[in-house]
Amino acid sequence: MTSTIPATILEKAEAEEMYEFEEGVPEPDRSRWGMDSMRLGGGVVLAMRDDISDYWSKALGFGFDEPVTPPLMEEVIDFYQERGIREATIQIAPSVIPEDWPDICEKLGIARGPVIRKLGADIDAAVTASSHARIGEGLSVGPVTLDEAAEWAEVMPRAMGMPAQGMQQMAAASVGRSGWYPFAVREAGSIVATATLRVQGEVGSLFAGCTLPEARKRGAQSALIAARVDAAREAGCRLLVVETFDEPPGTHNSSYHNLIRAGFTLRYPRPNWIWRNPGAASQ
């Protein structure tokens, strides 16, 4: 049952997924864009200096191998300051936030940011629920081959509305990597939607589901969820995890509702914590 999925599985799956994804950027791009990473306190710290989206500098996975403490967070912030990072996102499960977290935030200049929803599913429940997914006429879903890696990677940032720099290289490098299962929706031979699955042991992590604007509202993402659920079952997964954006009152998050229909349940909302470098020049 999804009620038995502990936060440590939800958080560490995301941390390892992000670590592997960002590590895929090859040289000389890594050095040119100021990319770096380290493992710390059971979590990961990821940095990309030349990132106009301020998305790829993240620190996550903390609070399970050792507690979240002022020295730990100081080391995270030092890492970012030394590399000239303008802004970084710290992601910590609410269940492991320490009592002195407000003091840590005040001292280090960390502010509460947008909320992310963490979801999980039993593989059997997801298989049953996602089997009802239907895809629009003219669309087809299937795995991505090495020959399609460049096209698939080029579509992903456009579909997400994000800069291609970094993300395109990360996505391309993930195709063919052990434990990664990329999928695409195609129309007339062209890729119009992307998604991937990362498998580690009995846990499957859904990641990077997005659709080009002209192909939306035709069932592409529901079909991609179903395809990844089936692939996870075949790979021996027992649990599935995923995250999506929040749905504040008056808004609608289609991704969240697609996942709920596919058998996922909300595990907990998790605020992002944003650190902005007071010494970094505005870009």
pLDDT digits (tens, 9 = 90+) for 250-260: 999 999 999 99
Preceding peptide of 271 cis, ω within 30°: no
Q: What letter represents residue 37's amino acid? A: S
- Sheet containing 58-60: order of strands: 35-40, 43-48, 58-60, 87-91, 265-276, 110-122, 239-245, 203-211, 190-200, 180-187, 139-143
- On average, the pLDDT of the chain sits at 96
Which amino acid belongs to residue 238?
R
Phi, psi of 2 (to 5 degrees): -65, -20
CB atoms closer than 10 angstroms to residue 20: 19
Q: Which of 82, 78, 83 is nearest to 35 (CA)?
A: 83
Q: How confident is the model at residue 70 (pLDDT cuts 50, 70, 90)?
A: very high
Residue 1 has pLDDT above 70, yes or no: no
Q: What number is the average pLDDT over the span 74-93?
A: 98
Beta strands at 43-48 and 58-60: parallel, antiparallel or unpaired: antiparallel
For range 169-177, the mean pLDDT: 97
Q: Domains of the chain by range and CATH? A: 2-115+270-276 (no CATH), 120-269 (3.40.630.30)
φ, ψ of residue 111 in degrees (nearest 5): -125, 150
Show Cβ contacts of residue 230 under 8 Å, excluding neighbours closer than 6 positions. Answer: 127, 130
For residue 283, the model assigns a pLDDT of: 45
Read off the pLDDT of residues 17-49 as tens digits, 9 standing for 90 and up. Answer: 999 999 999 999 999 999 999 999 999 999 999
Tell me: pLDDT of 134 over 80.
yes
Say what percent of the chain tops pLDDT 70.
98
Mean pLDDT of 218-242: 98
**pLDDT for position 281:** 54
CA distance 231 to 95: 31
* pLDDT higher than threshold 80 for residue 249: yes
- For the segment 222-239, the average pLDDT, to the nearest whole number, is 98
Structure tokens at 224: 């991609």
The answer for residues whose C-beta is within 8 angstroms of residue 246's C-beta and 6 or more apart is: 114, 115, 116, 117, 253, 269
The model's pTM is 0.95
